[in-house]
Amino acid sequence: MRWRIEWLKSIRRVTLNSFFLFNSLILGILVLLCLYRVVYGPGIFNRLVGASVIGTKTLIILVLIGFLYGRVDMFIDICLVYALLNFMVTIAAAKYFQRKGSL
């Protein structure tokens, strides 16, 4: 009976790791689509939003990596700092380009 419980736990762990890895790969592909928007965007503010979305998706990927390594607490701390930096840079760049008008 005990070996069945251990076997089910190992199956669950493998399934969750595969699930998180699959989601990380999908988010990586979506980051590439947002990178296309940043490079070929019609306007500067569209490019800025694309860069901000890349930062947000990177946060989610970092949390998923934390689940894969079993160190979610450490990766949450990294994500909080990265989110704060992403927000401040986005606001600063938006204000700069609003005043300047273009590149």
Is-contact 90 59, C-beta < 8 A? no
Is-contact 44 102, C-beta < 8 A? yes
pLDDT at 21: 86
Amino acid at 15: T
Nearest-angstrom CA–CA distance, 48 and 36: 12
pLDDT digit string (tens) for 1-37? Answer: 666 666 566 666 667 788 888 888 999 999 999 999 9
pLDDT at 19: 85
Is-contact 62 81, C-beta < 8 A? no
pLDDT digit string (tens) for 40-85? Answer: 988 888 899 999 999 999 999 999 999 888 888 999 999 999 999 9
pLDDT at 50: 92
Is-contact 23 64, C-beta < 8 A? yes
Nearest-angstrom CA–CA distance, 50 and 56: 10
Ordered by start, the domain boundaries in the chain are 2-100
